[in-house]
Amino acid sequence: MTVSEIFDTMEYGAAPESTAEAQAWLDRHPDGFGHFIGGRFTAPQDLFDSKNPATGARLARVSGGSAADIQAAVQAARKAQPAWERRGGHGRAKVLYALARLLQKHSRLFAVLETLDNGKPIREARDIDIPLAQRHFYYHAGMAQLMDSELPDQRALGVCGQIIPWNFPLLMLAWKIAPALAMGNTVVLKPAEYTPLTALLFAQICREAGVPKGVVNIVTGAGDTGQHLVAAPVDKIAFTGSTAVGRAIRQATAGTGKALTLELGGKSPYIVFDDADLDSAVEGLVDAIWFNQGQVCCAGSRLLVHEPVAKDFHARLRARMDKLRVGDPLDKNTDVGAIVDPVQLASITAKLAANTAGTTHVSAAPLPQGGCFYPPTLIENLNPADPLMQEEIFGPVLVSTTFRTPAEAVQLANNTRYGLAATVWSENINLALDIAPKLAAGIVWVNATNLMDAAAGFGGVRESGFGREGGWDGLRAYTKDRAPQRALKPTPLPAPQTDAPVIAGGIDRTCKLYIGGKQTRPDGGHSAPVFAKAGGLLGHVPVAGRKDVRAAVEAASAASGWARSTGHLRAQILYYLAENMEQRRDTLARNLDAMRGGKTGAREVDASIRRLFTYAAWADKFEGRVHGVPLRGIAIGLKEPVGIIGAICPDEAPLLGLVSCMAPAVAMGNRIVLAASQSHPLIVADLIQLLETSDIPAGVVNILTGPHEDLANTMSGHMEIDAIWSFGSSPALPRIVEHGAASNIKRSWVNHGLARNWEGPMGEGRAFLNAATETKTVWVPYGE
Amino acid sequence: MTASSGHSSTQAVITGAGQLPLVPLARNSGMALDLDWVARVQANTSAIERRAATIAARRSVKKAHQAAWLLKAISCIDLTTLSGDDTEHRVARLCAKARRPLDPTLERALGLRGLTTGAVCVYHEMIPAALRALEGTTIPVAAVSTGFPAGLSPLPLRIAEIEQSVAAGASEIDIVISRRHVLGGDWQALYDEMRAFRAACGKAHVKAILATGELGSLRNVARASLVCMMAGADFIKTSTGKESVNATLPVSLVMIRAIRDFHARTGFHVGYKPAGGISKAKDALTYLALIKEELGNRWLAPDLFRFGASSLLNDIERQLEHHVTGNYSASYRHATS
């Protein structure tokens, strides 16, 4: 076209980014890429293609990692780890700083390579992915520097296996590697099969940055390589990807003692109230669902619009969609690039083909010929019962419905198995700040969307996974307590002596379950005898079964108002419980001694009273944090209760152990279902009397007695329990609990067969408070 | 960018405002003041700033496209002089540049001729000088009016000033609104004032200068934009150029979204004129992209879009010479205004 013709049409024309440098880098590896293990690239073998999804052209050939490759990489990481940790915070900070600098120096090469391999628009790779990855290394260089002074009780986990997805290849690598290295871990990272190239380029700059051999290992491959890594002798698995694979990893690692964090899928709500700046909310959707072709775990994919503005808003939205430019990812004017792979394109296409509900609007933007492209799509007037309102599509497809009231907006928003992110648009600060805490999500954006930063925690609740990446919270995923740990010996059940009389004498004592504030008999109608250390019959406790767990969870569910109570009130209630326990001190001590023998009962009661005081103290002091994000606005890390917690209490400290689980959960606003000590359960009879006279609302604390393994099995599989803790001494418990937790991807905290000194500092404090809370990051940009 | 990319064998004629082959649009006759609509308007500053900040990164024009876009920008410039020391000769020099904004060799290389700026913008006293200097062209003369820039002279005098400027031959009148009506939330007063100005303009087109740098918030900018359009403004314009903050991309986004809303509701096309602070060719491209994205191609013409600028033209000339020759240019190579 001539200049004068363009003067009339005012078209943008092509604005392609040059691929010369990226191509030259690829051309230097004509035989394909090996793995990066122990600071060297292995010989390429078992090659597969990494393709450009915009054209289908092969970019490079990459090695498929075998079990032996994984083994070699884990060995290299294991060998390198002690020296890397001993290098100290400053020593590691210097290396992380060098990585950040090198990412910056090669930023355009990384960006172009990312766009070639993934299909994302060059603008996004250039302006979002690569700068955020750099920022992550800078930020964590600082965390390495501060670790010695700020986290003196923490140390590295060891070797971390990390499996990352294809949607943000380099950024997810940064999210995984930067905190792990900062805290003194070494890593074996498997990039996604579709997008391994920037990880391989990163391996090269690791050498330039002076990363010691074996500290970073990259093994490429498909799902089977990932399985090998999950099965390998690593200390931790960090996974970002689909909920289905995350669930399988949860099951595969159950009971192995490997730490686990999962960053999974989402169907994040995007709520528009009638007082919102509608044009800005429409533009926000471009960043929510048409960013990275909608292949974003936290994509605002479920639009909920207030009825008074629904018609107007959708009209504006359709008009905006029609102006999106779909095409060559390397063109600087492209808004929506290529879907990562034909397999993903087929998945999106199939989901849409199966849908008959709602009204579909497809963007008027022309699609390129060939390549993996899908048009921006909106499906209006869907209902929660329609599959596409529930299923993650992971493509540029937005679904929408309307709501009448703020309460209904929350109800619809939370009607999902996922809980990653949520967006709220309103100019009313009262409304926005009221809604944000009510949303089941790890991240809430107010009048913005998809804001991310290294300083702010990212991660979800429900089936979106657990663990946070970024900020101080993110470091917990890569550290453990420095205190030495010893094995926990199973506590034997006191054996009966057939001719032993009942010790107590007098009137028979009745111990029941405590459910919903009432003493109830077990549904199964069975009781079990409890014997003293000396062998005499002490009494009977109910044998709780599946239905009793169900009843306890229902009672806990009904007590949801506890989450909204004030910390001050919860403190008062815990103090009062301690006060009452003090009154019953001698009885409790005597009964403990009768069960266990010895004379430690009084000490345990005193420790329990102190523990109640500790958490009464914490109830209004475990505070959130305002993150230092580069934004005019605030990003707040709110501490919220987890919800309903199931706890298998320790056998060895029947009163103190139960109180140590109950009190932090209650203090932080959770409801809890406790399975009392299996070996010495009778103490609950006294405790229940205390609880009955306390001000703890019905359903907040529920106590069951019975076989730990059975109760753990039911609790870990219960979909309404949000987290499960296991401190029982049965060796089978960790596996039962972690495997069962895969059901709804609930958080789990198990002892892995290690003992905990319940009287000492390990028996209380931040570890328990962290387990009893979720961090929700609420972003509130402001400005007038 | 290559030296040859700008050459073209076809010579097209591009002329100034009023002669483009565009369907003439119905003039905005305004509507009754709708206070409910005004009250509903929201403008979320941080979201607007984010959109404004990414527009330059989302849209890019290169080579021949960039040259064509820069020529479009020239055709939309209200070449302006608004100084206390303006003289007839100074205005004549400005008008000469408006008639021939580009060096003839550049024009030929780019394959067009007859390009002019969108208008010339002067104070009332300079209208006759401008008319004389523009004789034989269709380039309109715009006059700032109504006690520009503060707009605080008596209302009858401000209206009389408009009438005198129209009588003197100005075909466009750039009025300033009373900022106090916006700051005080007196939308009825703003509407009545704008109505009176519009009536005084008669056939001359009226551009309403909001002085956005003095309105306090983007929400006020949005509401003032709507009220002026309801009262019949042909154009809404950001600034006098005399405020400490003049045209910005966030303010522009708010105003053009108001224009879009007004068009959706009434069918009338209202023009947009950012003024003050736009001096780089790259900025001009960003503004054009913003207009294209938010309002559409129809607004990329001098009957609906103007840059109020004085030094922008020289930077564009330098970029166009670079496009034609492949060498970076120097200011002194291009005739001054």
Q: Which tens digits make up the pLDDT trace of A200-237? A: 999 999 999 999 999 999 999 999 999 999 999 999 99
Q: Which residues of A touch B295 (CB under 8 A)?
A: none
Q: Quick one: tokens of A493?
A: 């059940």
**A27 touching chain B per CB within 8 A:** no
**A447 touching chain B per CB within 8 A:** yes
pLDDT confidence bin for A501, thresholds 50/70/90: low
Which whole number is the average pLDDT over A577-603? 95
Number of C-beta neighbours around residue A224 at 10 A: 13
Which whole number is the average pLDDT over A241-252? 97
Q: Which residues of A touch B44 (CB under 8 A)?
A: 276-277, 280, 425, 427, 447
Q: How many distinct structural domains can be found in chain B? A: 1
**A782 touching chain B per CB within 8 A:** yes
Q: B337 vs chain A: nearest CA distance in angstroms?
A: 24
**B242 touching chain A per CB within 8 A:** no
Q: Catalytic: which of A263, A392, A463, A764?
A: A263
Supply the pLDDT for residue A500.
Answer: 57
> Is residue A372 among the annotated active site residues?
no
Residue to mutate among B10, B46, B220, B260, with most A CBs inside 10 A, is B46
Q: Is residue B23 part of a domain?
A: no
Q: Is residue B26 part of a domain?
A: no
pLDDT at residue B5 tops 80: no
Q: Quick one: tokens of A265?
A: 């899928």
The CA distance from B16 to B206, in Å, is 19
**B2 touching chain A per CB within 8 A:** no
**Which DSSP letter does residue A561 get?**
G
ipTM, two decimals, is 0.94
Q: Is residue B49 part of a domain?
A: yes
The CA distance from A759 to A64, in Å, is 50
Q: Catalytic: which of A160, A206, A297, A372?
A: A297
Chain A and chain B share a number of CB contacts under 8 A equal to 113
Q: What is the pLDDT of residues B65-120, one digit of tens each?
A: 999 999 999 999 999 999 999 999 999 999 999 999 999 999 999 998 899 999 99
Q: What is the pLDDT of residues A344-403, one digit of tens each?
A: 999 999 999 999 999 999 999 999 999 999 999 999 999 999 999 999 999 999 999 999
**A21 touching chain B per CB within 8 A:** no
Q: Is residue B161 part of a domain?
A: yes
Which chain B residue has its CA at the smallest distance from A274's CA? B40
Q: Quick one: tokens of A588?
A: 């409790």
Amino acid at B60: S
Q: Quick one: tokens of B86?
A: 């303006």
B64–A13: do the CB atoms touch at under 8 Å? yes
Q: Is residue B28 part of a domain?
A: no
Residue A119: strand, helix, or coil: coil
**B217 touching chain A per CB within 8 A:** yes
Supply the pLDDT for residue A494.
Answer: 74
Q: Is residue B92 part of a domain?
A: yes
> Is residue A263 among the annotated active site residues?
yes
Q: Is residue B1 part of a domain?
A: no
Supply the pLDDT for residue B24.
Answer: 83
A12–B59: do the CB atoms touch at under 8 Å? yes
B43–A277: do the CB atoms touch at under 8 Å? yes
Question: Model's pTM, two decimal places?
Answer: 0.96
Which whole number is the average pLDDT over B51-60? 96
Which chain B residue has its CA at the smallest distance from A3's CA? B68
Percent pLDDT > 70 in chain A is 98
pLDDT at residue A632 tops 70: yes
Residue to mutate among B15, B20, B44, with most A CBs inside 10 A, is B44
Q: What is the pLDDT of residues B122-168, one digit of tens each?
A: 999 999 999 999 999 999 999 999 999 999 999 999 999 999 999 99
Supply the pLDDT for residue B1.
Answer: 34
Instruction: Answer whether A284's CB lies under 8 Å from A251's CB.
Output: no
Q: Is residue B309 part of a domain?
A: yes
Supply the pLDDT for residue B15.
Answer: 45
Instruction: Answer whether B118's CB lies under 8 Å from B306's CB.
Output: yes
**B4 touching chain A per CB within 8 A:** no
B10–A632: do the CB atoms touch at under 8 Å? no
Q: Which residues of A touch B72 (CB under 8 A)?
A: 7, 10
Alpha carbon dihedral A604, A610, A613, A617, in 10-degree steps, equals -130
**Domain housing B236:** 7-15+34-334
Number of C-beta neighbours around residue A302 at 10 A: 30
CATH code of the domain containing B326: 3.20.20.70
Residue to mutate among A3, A130, A326, with most B CBs inside 10 A, is A3
The beta-strand segments (E) located in A552-681 are 625-627, 633-641, 644-648, 671-675
- Give Cβ neighbours of residue A64 (< 8 Å, ≥ 6 apart): A45, A46, A47, A48, A220, A221, A222, A224, A225
pLDDT confidence bin for A498, thresholds 50/70/90: low
Q: A450 vs chain B: nearest CA distance in angstroms?
A: 12
Instruction: Answer whether A439's CB lies under 8 Å from A268's CB.
Output: no
